[in-house]
Structure 1
């Protein structure tokens, strides 16, 4: 405040101008504070933005589409975004960047890996408080589910996953990352019928972004020539 008063004494603005300046700075401070709170409540594993993503390294990713999705209009239509591709190509980076954009736009956002989601809901199911715990994943405007496909699911886990997807269908948006193509989901869940039911809801209103390329994490080593892709064995 002292700095503002000193500046006002030096520049001698009108009373209205001085008050407008104070009000503007207060609003900006509150907005920044609210953004920090939303980001903390999102449980994001790290902070990444689209500006930090090397689109030139992953030409299969449409930068213009990513910038459009970052405006968050898809959440007003309860649409989903599914990032598919092998490990390391930038799926999680892009999903977190969109989550950060959601926080900036004032949306409620929640991040969870599939393993964390299933462990949490399984425990709640065993303690007869599943309905209450499900609200953690159905209430946010945007839910991020990371790392789908790394571990197989038993029938209980697949059913819990289905309940989350079904509860959010046409009510709230989901961003999901997976290293499995959709044809492998039946095997992943041990139930092709249940996998079909989940995919039917996920894909009905969705953007599917299939990333094909080298590991984004290893790009610097590859550029330096210190890392080579594993060679395929020949018979």
Structure 2
């Protein structure tokens, strides 16, 4: 008596193989492989791929999908107030901003080295837009990012301090490779608040990247932190390994309003 051979499907896949692969991809948590292995197998047969080429194509599809989902998650958990990109930023109104420096920062290598970025300039110069754009680039590069205003960072630290868990909160924040502190200088801090802010900066010194935007030059940070000595110590830690960008030029928002008004007048003429 002869034993019946295992049958094959029209595409060349052995009976039972799809269910086995479905099971294995669930166990391995590789859903993209589970969804595309058959389609790529057909393409491999048609184009005479080697086993290695087929495996590489399948793994590349899985990795690309995972990285895409990871980027979406990192951007979501960064809590940006809005998604702004560097590509959407009009650099023409900031002639002092070096394009090569901005392009280098966009690679995210400063995060890998735990370096800092300081954006200084008057209101409306585009500091927040650039900070968010660089944060988004860092998220795409695989780095965890957390964004908030200086006042909200302080509120977070005050709550932790009052609950007796400031050190635990600082440790939690250190898990993020990049934190962005927006709008330093808009609201003055009392000495106790300034000390909390100093602890945040000191806890990340050479451990994680900090990006700061401020409307004040460094010489006036003593006004914000109620103490020139504390301000100097904070600046020393921030700029030790940092790229400092001084933004000068027309207000981004004012220029946009002027252009809008000009178009409106031209439309009425």
Cα offset, 1:76, TM superposition = 3.1
Give the structure 2 partner of residue 86 of structure 1: 122
Give the structure 1 partner of residue 97 of structure 2: 61
Q: Which runs of 5+ in 1 are unaligned?
A: 228-235
Maintained 8 Å contact 1:8/1:18: no
Matching of residue 14 in structure 1 with residue 14 in structure 2:
no
Normalized per residue, the structure richer in helix is 2
Maintained 8 Å contact 1:50/1:94: yes
Distance in 2 between residues matched to 1:191 and 1:38, nearest whole Å: 36
What TM-score comes out, normalization by structure 2 length?
A: 0.77
Between Structure 1 and Structure 2, how many residues are aligned? 227
Distance in 2 between residues matched to 1:203 and 1:37, nearest whole Å: 30
User: Which of these residues, 205, 220, 230, is aligned with residue 184 of structure 1?
Assistant: 220
Give the structure 1 partner of residue 81 of structure 2: 45
**Max Rg structure:** 2
Q: 1:31 to 1:123 in 2, by over 3 A?
A: same
Maintained 8 Å contact 2:178/2:208: yes
Give the structure 1 partner of residue 181 of structure 2: 145
Q: 1:24 to 1:209 in 2, by over 3 A?
A: same
What secondary structure, in the 3-state scheme, does the structure 2 residue paired with 1:218 have? helix
User: Which of these residues, 106, 109, 112, is aligned with residue 145 of structure 2?
Assistant: 109
Q: Which runs of 5+ in 2 are unaligned?
A: 1-34, 264-269
What secondary structure, in the 3-state scheme, does the structure 2 residue paired with 1:175 have? strand
Q: 1:9 to 1:29 in 2, by over 3 A?
A: closer
Cα offset, 1:36, TM superposition = 1.0
Matching of residue 223 in structure 1 with residue 250 in structure 2:
no
What secondary structure, in the 3-state scheme, does the structure 2 residue paired with 1:209 have? strand
Give the structure 1 partner of residue 197 of structure 2: 161
What TM-score comes out, normalization by structure 1 length?
A: 0.88
Cα offset, 1:23, TM superposition = 2.7
Give the structure 1 partner of residue 14 of structure 2: none
Cα offset, 1:74, TM superposition = 1.9
Give the structure 2 partner of residue 99 of structure 1: 135
Cα offset, 1:163, TM superposition = 0.2
Q: 1:207 to 1:6 in 2, by over 3 A?
A: closer
State which drifts further: 86-95 or 75-84. 75-84
Q: 1:84 to 1:19 in 2, by over 3 A?
A: same
Distance in 1 between residues matched to 2:150 and 2:260, nearest whole Å: 34
Cα offset, 1:225, TM superposition = 4.4
